[in-house]
Amino acid sequence: EGLYFGEEHHPLSPRVVRGEALHGSNLFPSQVPEMTEAVLDWISMMTRLGHDLARLISLSLGLSADFLYRFYTRRPTTLFRI
């Protein structure tokens, strides 16, 4: 059992309109209103960390700093399971 959350997407976002899996609004429990901000902040911080790490990995491989970002991580599907 667990709760899964991801990046928030506007209902008219192209990825939502196309019906891409795991894209849309999160359903946060109303019993814990502070959870929304905490989870979305965490997802944002971890996504930034992932981009920073990808930049460092690119450089360590002798590639341009944005190589992995351009070809692999520009639009990640982020999930956070509690």
| 43/46 Cα distance (integer angstroms) | 5
**In the prediction, which pLDDT does 65 show?**
97
Residue type at 22 in one-letter notation: L
CA-to-CA dists, residue 69 to 14, 59, 82, angstroms? 20, 12, 27
- pLDDT tens, 18-72? 988 888 889 899 999 999 999 999 999 999 999 999 999 999 999 999 999 999 9
The predicted structure's pLDDT at residue 15: 87
pLDDT of 69 reads 94
Which of 57, 82, 80, 76 lies closest to 68, judged by CA?
A: 57
Per the model's pLDDT, the better-predicted residue between 45 and 77 turns out to be 45
